[in-house]
Amino acid sequence: MNAIARWLVLLLSLGVAGYGLFAYFALPPGSTVAPEMRAAYAAHPVRILVHVVASAVALLVGPLQFFPAVRAQRHLHRALGYIYFVAVAVGGLAGLATAFIAYGGLVARAGFGLLALVWLLSTFLAVRAARAGDFARHEVWALRSFALTFAAVTLRIYLGTFMAAGVPFPVFYPLLAWLCWVPNLLVIEWFVLRATVAPR
């Protein structure tokens, strides 16, 4: 990842994390969610707030690991990695619980539920590879993990795009449960494949 991409990812992640914390803690509860989602928010605020906070921490910490200056400091890299791991563990479990009440029916619930499971799994495998000393595999799984963390950003990009295009919320929201993370993962897999296939 080049310097421009690193800074763009960092700024977008900071923006979404900051917006999430502000929207859910500084504004009246439920005021920033779509009217169709307010009933679920009112009935289950704890799991949603836990997911928001933990995911915000993952968004704040994750992009720092792409900067060579941070990665060069092994103790800092490791400390941030464990903070990220705990944030994903908490955010992923809360996200899985939240998926069961997601607006959009079975399509949305399956999409968000699978996102939470793959997010948890990829992060666990990244940590396991690092503890085993397999740093090449660790890097690949860490990239996959953050691609899924970044779903919080891409979801909002798609959300704004669909709303600007005038697509009704009930039509596009179930699609967001898949669009927010599947393309992210495909992009990472393309980069991994390109890096591992020897040039001819």
pLDDT tens figures, 24-58: 888 776 666 777 777 777 777 888 899 999 999 99
> What range does the domain containing 89 cover?
3-196
pLDDT mean across residues, the chain:
90
Report percent pLDDT > 70 for the chain.
96
The count of domains in the chain is 1
pLDDT recorded at residue 164: 94
How sure is the predictor about 200, in pLDDT bands with cuts at 50, 70 and 90? very low
pTM for this predicted structure: 0.89
Separation of alpha carbons 112 and 181, rounded Å: 9
Tens digits of residue pLDDT in 188-199: 999 887 776 655
pLDDT recorded at residue 147: 96
Tens digits of residue pLDDT in 55-110: 999 999 999 999 999 989 999 999 999 999 999 999 999 999 999 988 889 999 99
